[in-house]
Each structure stands twice: as structure tokens, then as C-alpha cells.
């Protein structure tokens, strides 16, 4: 599918299912964000190994740009904007990490960014988003209010692309690059445990791992 059919627009940004993400999408994302996102280290802890009775390898995404894995998906989405789309800017809604990631990725490409933030968000998170040059718009702390405000801002900007925190193919593929890196760094893993909120990182990693280990030897 062409990018214009995949990045959200004000008319299509409701919670619809994104196009299926494939292992090739994740591999393409890895190539695209190379040099933009950080290849984060894997650390170990003998104390943790002893406590759980297994060898544990920790993928340290706190060392990613903006301090969280979210930069991977944001960069993958922003880098796929056409020049015409980039000129109109990007919009997202976030209570912190996704907003900072989109703001930083947009700044790196010279793209205007607006981040819709619930009014209850911690001030330090709001200031972090602003530090990357994004405009912050406050809204009521509900999912409906966040989505409505983001769509309104996108229309105000003449049709800016909305980058969803997790329910978007480009974002999912970008987060999936964690799985590719982890299997390169620790090839003999037999299981990967992923924290989940919206599910974008979990989905992307699952797609990446299934593509690299189709025999199911890594769960």
C-alpha cells in the first residue's frame, strides 16, 4: 500500500484496524530508521538470573532517543511522509512518551508538529515535548477528547498526518525493530517477554520474531 493510504488523516483516524504488518515491513523499518534511532544495548544481571532460575537478557530501551522505545515507531512514520505531507506537518495525541518521540522525529526532519496532551499530564512531560519544538494543545483526559482534538488540529493544519500511539502500521513496524535487534544480539533466545499497554510494541515484536524464527522456537 502507498503511504498515503496508511498514515492516518482526519477523515480516517478513528480506531479502525491498521493494515496487516509483515516481517518485511519490520525489516524495511529497521533499514529506514538506521542512523536515526539508537541500537540499544542488551544487559544481563546475575542476581536476576539467580532469582528467576533462567538466563535473562534486558533490552535497554531507556537508552533510546527521548528515553523510550516510542522513538522507533515515530521515526518510521515521519520518515515515510511525502514532501507534500511533511509540509502540512504531523499531529499526535499522547500523555508523554509518544508525544516526545513524534516531536523529536518531526524536528529531525524539519516537520511542524502538534501534540495533543491531556491537561492532567505531568508538567515535566509537557516541557519535554515542548523542548523538541512541538506545539502542545491541552485537552480533557479522555480518549474521545484526545482523538477529537488531534483531528481538529490536523484539519486546522490543512490535512496534517496523525501519528497514532500504537494503532498504526508504520508505528507497529517501527516498534518491531526491537525484536530484530534482540535476536541479532542474543540469537539463541527461547522466549521474549514484552510489557503491554496499547499493544503496538508487542505486536511489532511478535511479527518480527515470527519472521525471523518461523519454526516457533522463540515464543
Residues catalogued as catalytic: 70, 95
Inter-CA distances, 57 with 81, 88, 204, Å: 35, 42, 19
C-beta atoms surrounding 143 within 10 Å: 10
Contact 138, 153 (CB under 8 A): no
Using CA atoms of 5, 146, 37, 190 in order, give the dihedral in degrees to the nearest 10. Answer: -90
Distance CA 186, CA 61 (A): 15
Angle at 7 between CA 61 and CA 63, to 5 degrees: 10
Angle at 20 between CA 42 and CA 171, to 5 degrees: 45
Distance CA 95, CA 27 (A): 29
Closest listed residue to residue 18, CA positions, set 61, 91, 71, 77: 77
Amino acid at each position: 500500500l502507498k503511504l498515503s493510504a496508511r498514515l492516518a488523516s482526519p477523515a480516517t483516524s478513528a480506531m479502525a484496524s491498521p493494515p496487516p504488518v509483515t516481517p518485511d515491513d519490520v525489516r524495511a523499518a529497521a533499514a529506514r530508521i538506521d542512523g536515526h534511532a539508537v541500537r540499544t544495548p542488551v544487559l544481563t544481571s546475575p542476581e536476576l538470573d539467580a532469582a528467576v532460575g533462567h538466563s535473562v537478557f534486558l533490552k535497554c530501551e531507556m537508552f533510546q532517543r527521548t528515553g523510550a522505545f516510542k522513538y522507533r515507531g515515530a521515526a518510521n512514520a515521519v520518515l515515510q511522509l511525502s514532501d507534500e505531507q511533511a509540509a502540512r506537518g504531523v499531529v499526535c495525541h499522547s500523555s508523554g512518551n509518544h508525544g516526545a518521540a513524534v516531536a523529536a522525529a518531526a524536528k529531525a526532519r524539519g516537520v511542524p508538529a502538534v501534540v495533543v496532551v491531556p491537561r492532567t499530564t505531568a508538567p515535566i512531560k509537557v516541557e519535554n515535548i515542548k523542548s523538541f519544538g512541538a506545539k502542545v494543545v491541552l485537552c480533557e483526559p479522555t480518549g474521545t477528547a484526545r482523538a477529537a482534538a488531534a483531528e481538529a488540529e490536523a484539519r486546522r493544519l490543512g490535512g496534517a498526518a496523525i501519528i497514532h500511539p500504537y494503532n498504526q502500521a508504520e508505528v507497529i513496524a517501527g516498534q518491531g525493530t526491537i525484536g530484530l535487534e534482540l535476536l541479532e544480539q542474543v540469537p539463541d533466545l527461547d522466549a521474549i517477554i514484552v510489557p503491554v499497554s496499547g499493544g503496538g510494541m508487542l505486536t511489532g515484536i511478535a511479527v518480527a520474531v515470527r519472521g525471523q524464527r518461523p519454526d516457533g522456537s522463540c515464543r
